[in-house]
Amino acid sequence: MPTLPTLEDVRAAYSRIRGSVHRTPVLTCASLDLLCGARLFLKAENLQRAGSFKIRGALNAVLLLDEGSASRGVATHSSGNHAQGLSLAAAIRGVPAHIVMPKDAPAVKRAAVEGYGGRVTECEPTPEARARALRETVARTGATFVPPYDDPRVIAGQGTAVLELFEDSGGLDAVIGPVGGGGLLSGTAVACRGLAPGLRVFGAEPELAGDAAASLRTGTLQPAMPPKTVADGLRMPLSELTFSILRREAEGIILVSDEEIVRAMRLLWERAKLVVEPSGAVPLAAVLKESRRFAGLKVGLILSGGNADLDKIPWARDII
């Protein structure tokens, strides 16, 4: 098991990456507050470079590579946002990025990866196919694997969003982040516990990809569920590393339906004027569902990404 990241690691990551990433705004929306019965502080990582929080962890990991390793490039597997983040991080350092993507990854995300200079290899949309294609890519290129979430360097980088959220909000009672593989939520939990030990940290997860909730409930790491949820960025299972962090640091995981995710996404577009992808809307779906739990509290929501496929808006019956 790798060494677990600490608040000091998160702060060091922030010093390392802050000149190359956006300090995204923390926004409020009175109409959403009214709907939820809480004061919401929206950390708009949908406005981050490459369209999501992923650049934070990817860049931290890339900048920590020695010159020899970096010169051979980096590689990963990703359905989109980590692929974009790593491709941009590699471009910032001036090294190659080799990206394994499932065939069903949103077209907008693949186009962005290639736009940042990432070299895409397609695979079937299963964890086994991703792992096999990645092994072949690393063997062929000598690139260093930068995992989407199963890495302390990546987790520490993802936690930097909370440093900004906490400072800009003036303090919070609770933070809710989406959970797929658990890198963002793990970094969030580590940062929150270090900044304010009494701060409540929750994950928000699609019911159709509820392995994280099942893992925490049973105390045993559960495998990935079939990739059916509209929140395509949250289809990966926890790793041993992220599971160990979340078992210790997260208060719980709130499950939401795909219908609730789409409603929250539409509310963010309509009320807050924020283009957020389904995965990024999951925290709002959670606080809407559990409004009694969060009534009257100051709640930070991490809107993880904005790389929505505009050709497949989930509430549109007819696409023009």
Residues marked active site are found at 54, 304
Q: State the Cα torsion 29-35-39-43 to the nearest 10°.
A: -50
Measured between its terminal Cα atoms, the distance across the chain in Å is 50
> What are the phi and psi torsion angles at 125 (to 5°)?
-80, 60
Tell me the Ramachandran region of residue 73: left when phi exceeds 0, alpha when psi lies from -120 to 50, beta otherwise: left
Q: What is the DSSP annotation of 187-203?
A: HHHHHHHHH-TT-EEEE
Task: List CB contacts of 280: < 8 A, sequence separation 6 or more.
Answer: 45, 46, 52, 178, 265, 268, 303, 304, 305, 306
If you count them, how many residues does the chain have?
Answer: 320
Neighbours of 131 (CB within 10 A): 13
How far apart, in Å, are the Cα atoms of 13 and each of 8, 44, 173, 221? Answer: 9, 19, 25, 28
Q: Is 313 exposed, middle or buried (0-12, 13-18, 19+ CB in 10 A)?
A: middle
Sheet with 252-256: list strands edge to edge.
26-27, 39-44, 298-303, 174-178, 200-206, 252-256
Helix (H) or strand (E) holding 44: strand 39-44
Task: Please give the Cα distance from 236 to 105 (Å, whole number).
Answer: 13
How much is the CA Rg of the chain, to the nearest whole Å?
Answer: 18
